[in-house]
Amino acid sequence: MKQKQIEEEKRMHKAVGILLLAFTSAIAGIVSIFVPGTAGKLAKWTFFGVFAVCIIYLVAKRKVR
């Protein structure tokens, strides 16, 4: 029973982590649209970087199964 609860908590933490990454990516994407100059470029690359990390994680997760 305790092992099952620990596994459930781990799954929950991973889900929260992915949601935070997606939220960060969305904010960076919005900022990149409205902010000009270096800050906008930084936000754009943050968006692409976080998006790429999410995609890589999801692909790796599917291959493990």
Q: Rounded to whole angstroms, how far apart are CA atoms 41 and 63?
A: 33
Residue with tokens 């790429």: 52
| pLDDT, tens only, 10-56 | 777 777 877 887 788 788 878 878 888 888 888 888 888 887 887 88
pLDDT score of 65 = 60
The DSSP-derived string for the chain is -HHHHHHHHHHHHHHHHHHHHHHHHHHHHHHHHH--HHHHHHHHHHHHHHHHHHHHHHHHHHHH-
pTM of the predicted protein model: 0.57
